């Protein structure tokens, strides 16, 4: 019995993209390249050449694996081999059984294999379009043939996307690739067109790159986590053996690869090794920094304790503090403190000084607040004392300090307030009296309003009973004390009005005198300097100012002052012509005992201040230049008055207009001040009486030097001995 011919178990199938592959059922092996058992003699002969034959939509083309070229025409080397072979060499072996001749053989499910560089060219089945058959990888399978007409169709978009991703994976695309490079290298691949539009391909490429980077990151992190404990221990031993943390990576790399080769080879690449080394160095530096901070904090606490034990004061300087700190026992006995930088000690000392300053400030604030509180309590206690006297009727409207002072001069509530800043006892007393005066003023306004309905006015001569009689028909009901206060208020008010009227008349009289004096100065022809009043009266009687001033004695007084001024002008002119003679005459008048006193001195009066305190020295030591300058100054002033053609009343009006323009409320304030003065005419006298007894004698002496001038123009104030001494002192100072 003859043996049956051997049957080859290979069967041919088609992948979803149309590519042929071969499957062996007994070994469950699938390959893209035709097995050797199925190749013809021509195919076996061509396998020794770099040229490979492929089919593109029924059209054959050849690919050279050595120079990576593609051509549609049969190469010369292939033609020569084909010419040497017989025609039957192109037929496959007769033992080949195609898949369709084996009804019991089913096509295997097509599952694209994951990419593995070790599987390329090993006969294992991979995704369609991954690499050209017969090549060692995709880098050798790129074809320059015009394959734009090729198109691969998939039933599902997911299959098309998976095929495109498999193409990228087999091509070795990684995050370092750009879309332009990918498109340039893979555009001729059939699977590149598995996605129809360029936007879909670019989106799939970007998603693939992102997924690839994430997988690489996860794998790298997983590897680092796995190696970290071993590398940590190994690097620790290396540091103990002498490796330094400040070494460069190249030096560390050489040291570890030579002495710790097992640990070094456990990592996949230098990137993981450098990452593990950087993590260990960072951890090592962190431990060192933590230790340094602990030592620093310990030293700071020790310095704080040393400074606190020295009991430094706020005025202690840094030099003294440093001397005391460095010579303390704790500083000398601690070696760590000896290495502590002085700049940190200075900072601690400044903090301590600020703390002392803050405590001192708080203490002063506390004392100040306590002092202010005590002062307020003293004022409140004296205010309560005044309130008690007011309730008892000891303090009334119009009461004076000198009348009330004996009631509490021995009371501690008064003596404690003396010397207290703020409101003094007199101010508090005046506040009470002002309040009572305001009440009396309101009562007076009510009484006057009630009498006004009866066409009556308060008479200062009325008694309390008469006032009650007039108010019997009104609704105003006041006690006898209140009515007495109303009558006193009205009397004071009327007296103030009378004084104001007298002052107004006196002021008007002076204004008329000034007007007449101005008129005489501008009278043409001028009155001769040797004329008498009777001789000059016919020239003055028609002047409006002369008629306005009705008092004959005042007319004569103005005329005499005018004549005196005219004579003075004549003497001034003479002195200007002969200044040396004037100086000698002045010296003679002084040495002769003052018998020839000038008209200016006689007119000035004994209590008027001299314009120049050096006049006595000028008379003893003549200085013509100084006298001439002084006379020129006074002459210019008189000339400026002479050239002003306005009347005195006009000049006053202009001056008042300017004042009102600068301060429009001045008149109102003056009027209010006058009214206030009329309401409380006794205020000044009360303030004089309010001085404590301890200062009465001293203030009395001062009051002698500050006596008010007489209100009458004809009565000059008396000159005291102190004024004469003051003038003599000024003369001595000026002579020096």
pTM tops 0.75, yes or no: no
- Name the residue with higher pLDDT: 24 or 565: 565
Q: Supply the pLDDT for residue 87.
A: 67
Average pLDDT, the chain: 74
Burial class (CB in 10 A: 0-12, 13-18, 19+), 338: exposed
- Give the pLDDT mean for 467-495: 84
Q: Kindly tell me if the per-residue pLDDT of 683 is higher than 50.
A: no
How confident is the model over 194-225, as pLDDT tens digits? 888 899 999 999 999 999 999 988 988 999 89
- Give the pLDDT mean for 239-267: 87
Q: Collapsing DSSP states into helix, strand and coil, what is residue 571?
A: helix
CATH of 43-84, one of 3.40.50, 1.10.287, 2.20.70, 1.10.10: 2.20.70
| Nearest-angstrom CA–CA distance, 168 and 16 | 18
Q: Kindly tell me if the per-residue pLDDT of 610 is higher than 90.
A: no
Q: Kindly tell me if the per-residue pLDDT of 50 is higher than 80.
A: yes
Q: What angle do CA 412, 415, 419 make, to 5 degrees?
A: 145
For 136, 157, 516, the CA distances from 45, given in Å and listed in that order, are 20, 42, 155
Q: Supply the pLDDT for residue 3.
A: 42
Nearest CA-CA partner of 96 in 216, 12, 180:
12
pLDDT bin (cut points 50, 70, 90) of residue 193 is: confident
- Give the pLDDT mean for 610-630: 41
Q: Collapsing DSSP states into helix, strand and coil, what is residue 22?
A: strand
Highest mean pLDDT among 118-132, 161-175, 569-583: 161-175
CA 595 distance to own-chain centroid: 78
Question: DSSP letter at 372?
Answer: H
Q: Kindly tell me if the per-residue pLDDT of 363 is higher than 60.
A: yes
Question: DSSP letter at 101?
Answer: G
Q: Supply the pLDDT for residue 676.
A: 62
Q: Kindly tell me if the per-residue pLDDT of 377 is higher than 90.
A: yes
Highest mean pLDDT among 593-602, 660-669, 688-697: 660-669
Highest mean pLDDT among 248-257, 589-598, 663-672: 248-257
**CATH classification of 8-38 is 2.20.70.10, yes or no?**
yes
DSSP 139-160: GGT---S--TT-----SSHHHH
| Nearest-angstrom CA–CA distance, 585 and 583 | 5
* Angle, in degrees to the nearest 10, between helices 270-310 and 342-392: 50
pLDDT bin (cut points 50, 70, 90) of residue 143 is: very low
Q: Kindly tell me if the per-residue pLDDT of 658 is higher than 60.
A: no
CB of 303 closer than 8 Å to CB of 345: yes
CB of 330 closer than 8 Å to CB of 302: yes
pLDDT bin (cut points 50, 70, 90) of residue 60 is: confident
* Rounded-to-10 torsion of CA 292, 297, 299, 300: 140
**Long-range CB pairs of 710-714, under 8 A, 24+ apart, other chains included:** 711/503, 711/506, 713/506, 713/510
| Nearest-angstrom CA–CA distance, 465 and 168 | 128
CB of 40 closer than 8 Å to CB of 93: yes
How confident is the model over 339-361, as pLDDT tens digits? 899 999 999 999 999 999 999 99
At 137, give phi and psi (nearest 5°): 170, 180
Q: Kindly tell me if the per-residue pLDDT of 413 is higher than 60.
A: yes
Q: Supply the pLDDT for residue 677.
A: 59
DSSP 588-621: HHHHTTS-S--HHHHHH-TTSPPS-TTHHHHHHS
CB of 584 closer than 8 Å to CB of 624: no
Q: Supply the pLDDT for residue 465.
A: 86
- Name the residue with higher pLDDT: 714 or 245: 245
At 54, give phi and psi (nearest 5°): -135, 165
- Give the pLDDT mean for 478-501: 87
């Amino acid at each position: 019995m003859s043996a049956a011919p051997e049957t080859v178990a290979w069967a041919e199938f088609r992948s979803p993209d149309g590519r042929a592959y071969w499957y062996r059922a007994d070994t469950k092996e699938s390959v893209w390249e035709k097995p050797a058992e199925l190749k013809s003699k021509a195919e076996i002969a061509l396998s020794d050449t770099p040229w490979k034959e492929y089919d593109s939509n029924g059209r054959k083309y050849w690919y050279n694996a050595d120079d990576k070229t593609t051509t549609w025409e049969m190469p010369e080397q292939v033609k020569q081999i084909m010419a040497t072979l017989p025609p039957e060499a192109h037929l496959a072996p007769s033992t080949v059984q195609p898949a369709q001749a084996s009804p019991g053989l089913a096509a295997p499910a097509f599952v694209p294999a994951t990419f593995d560089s070790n599987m390329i060219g090993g006969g294992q089945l991979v995704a369609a379009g991954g690499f050209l058959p017969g090549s060692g990888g995709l880098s050798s399978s790129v074809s320059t043939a015009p394959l734009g007409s090729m198109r691969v169709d998939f039933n599902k978009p997911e299959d098309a996307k998976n095929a495109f991703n498999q193409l990228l994976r087999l091509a070795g695309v990684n995050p370092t690739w750009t879309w332009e490079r990918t498109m340039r290298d893979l555009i001729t691949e059939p699977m590149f067109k598995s996605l129809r539009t360029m936007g879909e391909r670019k989106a799939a490429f970007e998603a693939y790159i992102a997924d690839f980077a994430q997988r690489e990151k996860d794998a790298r992190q997983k590897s680092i986590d796995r190696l970290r404990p071993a590398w940590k221990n190994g690097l620790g031993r290396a540091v103990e053996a002498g490796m330094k943390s400040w070494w460069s990576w190249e030096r560390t790399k050489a040291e570890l690869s030579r002495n710790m080769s097992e640990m070094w080879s456990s990592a996949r690449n230098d990137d993981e090794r450098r990452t593990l080394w950087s993590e260990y160095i960072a951890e090592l530096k962190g431990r060192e920094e933590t230790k340094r901070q602990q030592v620093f904090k310990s030293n700071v606490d020790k310095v704080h304790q040393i400074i606190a034990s020295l009991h430094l004061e706020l005025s202690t300087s840094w030099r003294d503090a440093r001397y005391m700190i460095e010579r303390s026992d704790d500083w000398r006995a601690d070696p760590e403190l000896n290495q502590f930088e002085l700049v940190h000690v200075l900072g601690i000392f400044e903090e301590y000084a600020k703390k002392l300053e803050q405590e001192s400030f708080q203490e002063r604030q506390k004392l100040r607040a306590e002092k202010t509180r005590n002062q307020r309590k003293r004022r409140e206690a004296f205010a309560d004392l005044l309130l008690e006297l007011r309730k008892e009727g000891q303090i009334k409207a119009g009461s004076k300090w000198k009348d009330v002072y004996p009631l509490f001069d021995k009371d501690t509530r008064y003596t404690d307030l003396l010397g207290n800043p703020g409101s003094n006892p007199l101010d508090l007393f005046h506040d009470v009296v002002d309040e009572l005066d305001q009440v009396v003023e309101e009562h007076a306004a009510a009484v006057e309003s009630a009498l006004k309905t009866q066409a009556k006015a308060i008479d200062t001569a009325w008694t309390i009973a008469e006032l009650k009689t007039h108010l019997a028909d009104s609704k105003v009901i006041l006690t006898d004390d209140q009515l007495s206060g109303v009558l006193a208020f009205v009397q004071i008010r009327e007296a103030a009005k009378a004084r104001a009227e007298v002052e107004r008349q006196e002021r008007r009289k002076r204004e008329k005198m000034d007007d007449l004096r101005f008129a005489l100065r501008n009278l043409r022809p001028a009155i001769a300097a040797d004329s008498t009043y009777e001789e000059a009266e016919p020239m003055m009687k028609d002047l409006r100012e002369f008629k306005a001033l009705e008092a004959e004695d005042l007319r004569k007084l103005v005329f005499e002052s005018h004549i005196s001024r005219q004579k003075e002008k004549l003497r001034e002119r003479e002195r200007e012509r002969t200044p040396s003679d004037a100086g000698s005459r002045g010296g003679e008048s002084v040495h002769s005992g003052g018998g020839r006193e000038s008209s200016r001195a006689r007119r000035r009066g004994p209590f008027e201040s001299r314009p120049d305190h050096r006049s006595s020295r000028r008379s003893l030591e003549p200085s013509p230049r100084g006298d001439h300058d002084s006379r020129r100054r006074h002459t210019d002033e008189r000339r400026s008055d002479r050239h002003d053609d306005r009347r005195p009343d006009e000049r006053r009006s202009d001056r008042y207009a300017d004042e009102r323009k600068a301060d429009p409320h001045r008149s109102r304030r003056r009027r209010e001040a006058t009214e206030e003065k009329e309401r409380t005419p006794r205020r000044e006298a009360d303030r004089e009486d309010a001085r404590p007894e301890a200062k009465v004698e001293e203030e009395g002496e001062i009051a002698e030097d500050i006596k008010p001038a007489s209100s009458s123009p004809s009565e000059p104030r008396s000159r005291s001995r102190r004024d004469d001494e003051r003038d003599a002192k000024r003369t001595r100072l000026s002579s020096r």
